[in-house]
């Protein structure tokens, strides 16, 4: 194989490599536009005034309604609580240890039942809170908060403790089943911070969308430029060393 043929083959391979790297960079730019639109849409839902859910609950989905700001009116059934293992969203000094999000059924005026994440409680306070809460009267209340749907299971997450109603991921159907609710809403409402009372800290929704697509795009484009420059340097040297025809 002659040096010029080797150079031509390497040049063809380099062209494909640079085109592939540029394509990956352009794909990341498209992902960037999608992610920015998603963040803007979610931000609009979160900061919109709380409003009653006018559509059928079964018509709601994570794709179109996650983090929607809603309002519900009903009475808590504090005899039945479930707990999602969590860390506080805004830990207080000296109180940043893990605890639980308290999920309680809310019976609406029309008889339907929704699950409400009433807020975070420290693990050491759980038993005393449950005892006091189940003994207290539960007047009708209006709840405002953000719609949340199932989250994917996390790797290496402990197995849910159904007997103690402790969960390690937000699995709405499993939580409802543990409370003996066969027809509960297919979502959980994270109560706003205004729902905080006693040891409960409301407003625990974690809203975070990693957005590194621009950095990834720059990386792919930089690799494409580096490859093209490296090939140009190699080709210049190869042509300079090649014997004259």
User: Does residue 232 surpass a pLDDT of 80?
Assistant: yes
Mean pLDDT of all residues belonging to the chain: 88
pLDDT category at 228 given cuts 50, 70, 90 is very high
Dihedrals phi, psi of 5, to nearest 5 degrees: -65, -40
| Sign of the torsion angle spanned by Cα atoms 123, 136, 146, 56 | positive
Alpha helices, DSSP H, located in 83-208: 126-135, 172-178
What is the pLDDT at residue 70? 95
User: Does residue 89 surpass a pLDDT of 70?
Assistant: yes
Angle CA 170–171–177, to nearest 5: 130
Mean of pLDDT values over 53-68: 90
Dihedrals phi, psi of 18, to nearest 5 degrees: -65, -40
How far apart are alpha carbons 18 and 192 in whole angstroms?
50
- Exposed/middle/buried for 80, CB within 10 Å: 0-12, 13-18, 19+? middle
What is the pLDDT at residue 243? 63
What are 91-117's pLDDT values in tens digits?
Answer: 766 666 789 999 999 999 888 999 999
Task: Measure CA of the first residue to CA of the last residue in the chain; give whole Å.
Answer: 16
Map residue 79 onto helix, strand or coil. Answer: coil
User: Does residue 155 surpass a pLDDT of 80?
Assistant: no
Give me the residue spans of the domains in the chain.
Answer: 12-41+211-241, 68-195
- Of the candidates 149, 136, 146, 148, the residue with the CA atom closest to the CA atom of residue 75: 136
Angle CA 76–133–206, to nearest 5: 70
CB 46 within 8 A of CB 209: no
Contacts of 77 (CB under 8 A, 6+ apart): 104, 105, 106, 107, 138
Q: What percentage of the chain reaches a pLDDT higher than 90?
A: 50
What is the pLDDT at residue 109? 85
Write down the pTM of the prediction: 0.81
What are 174-222's pLDDT values in tens digits?
Answer: 999 999 998 899 999 999 988 777 788 888 998 888 899 999 999 999 9
Distance set, CA 84 to CA 10, 99, 189 (Å): 57, 8, 13
pLDDT category at 242 given cuts 50, 70, 90 is low
What are 118-151's pLDDT values in tens digits?
Answer: 999 988 888 888 888 777 767 788 999 999 999 8
Which of 95 and 72 is assigned the larger pLDDT? 72
Alpha helices, DSSP H, located in the chain: 3-47, 62-65, 126-135, 172-178, 213-241
What is the pLDDT at residue 94? 63
CB 87 within 8 A of CB 96: yes
What is the pLDDT at residue 235? 86
């Amino acid at each position: 194989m002659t040096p010029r043929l080797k150079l031509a083959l390497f040049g063809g391979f380099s062209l494909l490599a640079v085109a592939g790297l540029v394509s990956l960079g352009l794909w990341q730019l498209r992902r960037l536009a999608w992610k920015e639109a998603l963040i803007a849409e979610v931000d609009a839902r979160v900061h919109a005034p709380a409003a009653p859910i006018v559509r059928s609950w079964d018509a709601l989905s994570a794709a179109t309604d996650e983090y929607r700001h809603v309002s519900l009116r009903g009475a808590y059934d504090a005899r039945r609580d479930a707990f999602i293992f969590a860390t506080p969203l805004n830990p207080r000094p000296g109180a940043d240890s893990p605890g639980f999000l308290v999920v309680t059924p809310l019976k609406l005026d029309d008889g339907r039942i929704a699950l409400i994440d009433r807020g975070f409680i420290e693990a050491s306070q759980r038993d005393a809170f449950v005892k006091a809460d189940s003994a207290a009267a539960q007047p009708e209340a209006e709840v405002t908060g953000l719609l949340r749907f199932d989250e994917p299971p996390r790797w290496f997450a402990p197995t849910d403790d159904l007997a103690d109603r402790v969960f390690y991921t937000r699995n709405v159907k499993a939580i409802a089943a543990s409370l003996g609710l066969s027809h509960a809403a297919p979502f959980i409402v994270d109560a706003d911070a205004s729902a905080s009372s006693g040891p409960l800290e409301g407003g625990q929704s974690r809203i975070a969308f990693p957005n590194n697509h621009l950095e990834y795009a720059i990386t792919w484009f930089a690799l494409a430029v580096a490859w093209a420059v490296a090939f140009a340097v190699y080709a210049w040297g190869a042509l300079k060393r090649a014997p004259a025809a």
